[in-house]
């Protein structure tokens, strides 16, 4: 497409103002008619797909129905859209192609109405309704612009003798190639007529393409004089110091759990883990990587000279007058050292055991049949980031009384609690797990906390301590509660020792909480009901909640997280099954029948039915190892309102 695009004023209006005109259904019909015109489907096939659309209970787009019926492939759709530049509203096109949902579009249009002049595409990406990659791809379909990748292109230095890099930065564009006397220019917004005209005056005849804004900026950073630009502006000592401090403060301000600092081939990427999900924060030029990482090493008392080995450290960051405890992990990669900084919670953020999210009856049973039992092993299991540490410390907090001696072996100590003896494992000072566990028994403890069962030695120590009359709390990495038992068996712990020592296993996950400010009903369709393990007739009318996005949740649809739990308290039936080395299927069946076990999936379904989490979160985070029981049965076991 040559320099200035025909109809650009009309398209600019489409991009910059709330969208009148065609609905997603009309756009779908237009795409389908183009597919007929290009010979990819017949009129009869289109009529059949339209009839299916009218009968499907859940709202499906015509394009998705055509694909599910195997009448078109993604490649045929791509060919048609590239060959026929569509003059349709951007939002409607995104809905029809399945990139966003109609509630997302309504939210974005409402936000656009409140901010006149802002472009819909910009709002959609900033609100996390769609990635910039997907948006650029759809814009190339819709408007016919060539999709360009400037960060992967070797630029011609001659371009920047015509105009300086700073000038191209102000226009959000970069020249990438010459073709037959025409300069190919990648624009973040090729519909911005003044910018296109300004570039045309510099180069004469141009061909305008489209690229992601961050790709353009990365390419411009490469094109700039690295020594002058990056050493003088980015990598100065004062600037790096401010960048690191600002980064940590921004993370602490927004309740981020982890900061990921990752050097790549062309940039230094910063991502935040928010509510258990990694989200992009910002990028820095690659020249910043060395000084940036060195500054963090200094703050964490790590070896600045060590570049190839992995290191672990810790720092206390002064955040608004309060110390913020941060665990630092450095890992060597082919592009340099990546850093993950975990922001540890303060003592005043510890939850009471009844506030961690267990159902009322489950919490009562955990307290009465596990925490208040004088001896035995209590195992809290789940993958990394499932909230095990929070549950462990909430349990310790419950047990922390003046007449109880509590001692810990942790790697590292994540919460500091007054009144208990906490030991942080440190191999550099020869404070190892093995040596610490040997000495723990000589400290006359009532309760022993082992941060994690990581090998046969720590597993045997936990079992032996329980058998000698101590209460042991520890964590494990397994999929569910039954998996914890089987893993102990696979570690060659004798079955009779497991049945004698282990009193309870808690399995858990953390799922994102639906934002209460923008939640709306989400009726499950037949396929979704079956995916949860129900037959449609058994879960007719099952309705969850979903968040369509709002200012309060930064348009993610979620705000915070909620725990999903599975509590197994071993009774005689389960102990006999362990000694008999029954299969996981048999032990799970017996647990459901005899112990009042509510599985992770059942607890998640119940919480979703209460509007706390969503169907998507259940599918994403919760194992589905057995069929769930009816919702009424789950409710009775959990003791909800």
**pLDDT tens digits, one per residue of 14-44:** 333 334 456 778 888 888 888 888 888 898 8
> pLDDT tens for residues 253-267?
888 999 999 998 878
> pLDDT tens for residues 618-640?
999 999 988 999 988 898 888 76
- Strands of 386-438, DSSP E: 406-410, 421-424
What's residue 227's pLDDT? 35
Find the range with the poorest average confidence among 359-373, 399-413, 606-620: 399-413
What's residue 429's pLDDT? 64
DSSP-derived letter for residue 346 is: P
Q: What is the mean pLDDT of the chain?
A: 84
CA distances 357 to 10, 368, 555, 604, Å, are: 53, 17, 25, 11
What's residue 12's pLDDT? 35
> pLDDT tens for residues 145-185?
888 988 777 777 778 777 777 788 888 899 999 888 899 99
Tell me the pLDDT band of 1, cut-offs 50, 70 and 90: very low
Say which residue, 565 or 70, is predicted with more confidence: 565
C-beta of residue 291 within 8 angstroms of C-beta of residue 244:
no
What's residue 14's pLDDT? 33
Sign of CA dihedral 11, 15, 18, 24: positive
> pLDDT tens for residues 463-516?
989 999 999 999 998 889 999 999 999 898 999 999 999 999 999 999 999 999
What's residue 556's pLDDT? 78
Say if residue 5's pLDDT is above 60.
no
Decide the pairing of beta strands 206-210 and 182-187. parallel
Nearest alpha-carbon partner for 418 in 387, 433, 397 = 397
Q: Which domains does the chain have, with CATH numbers?
A: 8-144 (no CATH), 150-224 (3.30.300.160), 237-343 (3.30.450.90), 349-638 (3.40.50.300)
> pLDDT tens for residues 322-332?
888 898 999 99
By CB atoms closer than 10 A (0-12, 13-18, 19+), residue 70 is: exposed
Number of Cβ within 10 Å of residue 2's Cβ equals 11
Question: Across residues 130-146, what is the average pLDDT?
Answer: 80
Nearest alpha-carbon partner for 563 in 449, 340, 346, 392 = 392
Question: What is the C-alpha to C-alpha distance for residues 236 and 423, in angstroms, rounded to an integer?
Answer: 40
DSSP-derived letter for residue 268 is: E
> pLDDT tens for residues 591-619?
999 988 999 999 999 999 999 999 999 99
- What is the H or E stretch that residue 60 is in? none
Per-residue tokens: 210:
């489209």
As a whole-number percent, the residues of the chain with pLDDT over 90 amount to 33
> pLDDT tens for residues 69-124?
888 887 788 778 767 766 667 788 888 888 888 888 888 888 888 777 677 878 88
């Amino acid at each position: 497409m040559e320099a200035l695009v025909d109809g650009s004023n009309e398209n600019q209006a489409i991009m910059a103002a709330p969208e009148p005109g065609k609905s997603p259904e009309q756009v779908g019909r237009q795409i389908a008619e183009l597919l007929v015109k290009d010979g990819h489907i017949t009129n009869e096939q289109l009529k059949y797909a339209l009839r299916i659309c009218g009968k499907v209970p859940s709202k499906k787009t015509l394009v998705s129905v055509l694909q599910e019926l195997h009448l078109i492939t993604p490649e045929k759709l791509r060919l048609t859209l590239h060959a026929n530049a569509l003059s349709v509203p951007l939002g409607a096109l995104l809905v029809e192609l399945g990139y966003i949902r109609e509630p997302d579009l309504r939210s974005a249009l409402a936000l656009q109405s409140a901010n006149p002049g802002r472009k819909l595409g910009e709002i959609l990406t900033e609100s996390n309704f769609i990635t910039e990659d997907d948006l650029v791809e759809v814009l190339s379909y819709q408007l016919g612009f060539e999709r360009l990748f400037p960060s992967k292109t070797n630029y011609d230095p001659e371009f920047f003798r015509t105009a300086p890099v700073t000038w191209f930065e102000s226009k959000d564009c970069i020249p990438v190639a010459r073709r037959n006397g025409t300069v190919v220019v990648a624009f973040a917004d090729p519909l911005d007529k003044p910018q296109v005209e300004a570039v045309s005056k510099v180069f004469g005849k141009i061909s305008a393409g489209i690229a992601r804004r961050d790709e353009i900026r990365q390419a411009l950073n490469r094109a700039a004089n690295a020594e002058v630009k990056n050493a003088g502006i980015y990598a100065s000592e004062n600037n790096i110091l401010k960048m690191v401090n600002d980064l940590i403060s921004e993370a602490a301000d927004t309740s981020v759990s982890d900061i990921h600092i990752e050097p790549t081939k062309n940039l230094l990427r910063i991502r935040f883990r928010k509510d258990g999900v990694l989200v992009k924060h910002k990028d820095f030029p690659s020249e910043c990587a060395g000084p940036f990482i060195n500054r963090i090493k200094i703050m964490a008392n790590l070896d600045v000279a060590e570049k190839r080995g992995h290191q672990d450290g810790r720092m206390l960051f002064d955040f608004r007058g309060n110390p913020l405890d941060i665990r630092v992990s450095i890992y060597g990669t082919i592009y340099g050292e990546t850093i993950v900084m975990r922001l540890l919670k303060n003592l005043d953020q510890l939850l009471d055991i009844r506030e961690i999210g267990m159902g009322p009856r489950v919490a009562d049973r955990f307290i009465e049949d596990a925490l208040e039992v004088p001896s035995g092993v209590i195992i809290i299991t789940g993958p990394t980031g499932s909230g095990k540490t929070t549950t462990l410390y909430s349990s310790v907090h419950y047990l922390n009384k003046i007449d109880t001696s509590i001692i810990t072996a942790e790697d590292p100590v994540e919460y500091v609690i007054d009144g208990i003896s906490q030991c942080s494992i440190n191999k550099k000072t020869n404070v190892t797990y093995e040596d610490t566990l040997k000495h723990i028994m000589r400290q006359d403890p009532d309760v022993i906390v082992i941060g994690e069962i990581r090998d046969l030695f720590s597993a045997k120590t936990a079992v032996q301590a329980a058998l000698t009359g101590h209460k042991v709390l520890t964590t494990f990495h397994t999929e569910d509660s039954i998996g914890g038992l089987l893993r102990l068996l696979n570690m060659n712990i004798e079955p009779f020792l497991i049945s004698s020592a282990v009193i309870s296993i808690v399995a858990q996950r953390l799922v994102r909480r639906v934002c209460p400010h923008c939640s709306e009903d989400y009726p499950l369709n037949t396929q979704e009901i079956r995916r949860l393990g129900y037959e449609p007739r058994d879960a007719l009318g099952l309705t969850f909640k979903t968040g369509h996005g709002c200012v309060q949740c930064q348009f993610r649809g979620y705000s915070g997280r909620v725990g999903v739990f599975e509590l197994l308290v071993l009774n005689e039936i389960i102990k006999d099954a362990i000694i008999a080395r029954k299969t996981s299927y048999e032990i799970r069946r017996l647990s459901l029948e005899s112990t009042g076990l509510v599985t992770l999936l059942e607890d998640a379904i119940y919480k979703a039915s209460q509007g706390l989490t969503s169907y998507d979160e259940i599918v994403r985070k919760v194992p589905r190892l057995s069929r769930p029981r009816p919702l009424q049965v789950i409710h009775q076991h959990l003791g909800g309102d």
